[in-house]
Amino acid sequence: MRLRNKPWAKEKIAAYPQYIIPNPEQYKGRWHEVFGNENPIHIEIGTGKGKFITEMAKANPHVNYIGIELYESVIVSALDKLIEHNLPNLKLLNINAKELANVFAMGEVARIYLNFSDPWPKKRHEKRRLTYRSFLALYEQILVDEGEIHFKTDNQGLFEYSLVSFSQYGLLLTFVSLDLHRSDFVGNIMTEYEEKFAAKGNRIYRCEVKYPS
C-alpha cells in the first residue's frame, strides 16, 4: 500500500467515534452490545480502503463486520465509504493485528478475512506475514470453535507459503481455487487490490480453512 501523508487523517478519525471505535479494548467480550444484536462477527485484517468490507456489510445485513487497518492515512478512505453508506453492521478499528487478543475475547469472532495481505517476501520478514504461525495462534484465541479464515491473494509465493503454514498448524482446508476469476465460484466481492491486479491479468488465489473443533 503506497502511503500518502494525510496530516488531517487523525482529526477526521477522531470526529467519527461511532464508526472508527476509539480504545476498542474497552469492548473486549462486549462487541454484541456495540452492534445491539447477537449476529456473528466477521473481521477483515488489513482492510485497506474498505471496498470489500463495505460491500460485504451491505450484502449481509445479518452479519456484523469489523475492518481492521493499521494506517490512519488508509483507513480514512474506508471511513468515507462508511459515512456515505451508514451501515449499522460495520465498524472500523485503527489498530495493529498484533493487538487482536486485547480487543476480542475467546470465541468472539466467527470468521477472519485476509485479503491481499502484504507478502513480506524476504525470509527474515517471515514473522510479519499475517499467515505466520504466531498470527494463526492469535486468531485461534479469538475465533469460535471451527472458526474460519478466508484468504485471497494474487501472490503465488505467499499463497503457497500460507497453505503450508495452515497445514502445519493443523488447520483443515475446506476450499481452494488456484484461479478464482476463471472458476465457477459465485458471489465474489472484489477488493481494491484485487481489481487492480486482476486488471493486469494476474491470477487470483483463494482458500478457506477452519480450526479443528
Judged by the rule CB under 6 A, the positions of this chain that interact with ligand SAM are: 1, 45-48, 68-71, 74, 96-97, 115-118, 191-194
Question: What angle is formed at CA 122 by the lines to CA 116 and CA 124, rounded to 5 degrees?
Answer: 120
Of 1 and 34, nearer to ligand SAM (C-beta) is 1
Rounded to a whole number of angstroms, the minimum distance from the CB of residue 96 to ligand SAM is 5
The residue assigned the cell 459515512 is: 83
Which runs of E-coded beta strand occur in 47-191? 64-68, 90-93, 109-115, 143-153, 172-177
Residue of 114, 107, 204, 108 lying closest to 150 (CA atoms): 114
Rounded to a whole number of angstroms, the minimum distance from the CB of residue 48 to ligand SAM is 3
Of 172 and 198, nearer to ligand SAM (C-beta) is 198
CB-based contact 128:118 (threshold 8 Å): yes
Rounded to a whole number of angstroms, the minimum distance from the CB of residue 176 to ligand SAM is 19
Residue of 170, 134, 136, 168 lying closest to 151 (CA atoms): 136
Rounded to a whole number of angstroms, the minimum distance from the CB of residue 178 to ligand SAM is 18
Q: Which of 80, 118, 154, 184 is catalytic?
A: 118
Q: Which residue is nearest to ligand SAM (CB)?
A: 46
What does the alpha-carbon distance between residue 37 and residue 59 come to, in Å, rounded to a whole number?
18
118 a catalytic residue: yes
Of 47 and 131, nearer to ligand SAM (C-beta) is 47
C-alpha cell at 203: 491470477
Of 19 and 193, nearer to ligand SAM (C-beta) is 193
CB-based contact 194:154 (threshold 8 Å): yes
C-alpha cell at 99: 493487538
- What is the separation of C-alpha 107 from the centre of its chain, rounded to a whole number of angstroms? 17
Active site residues: 118
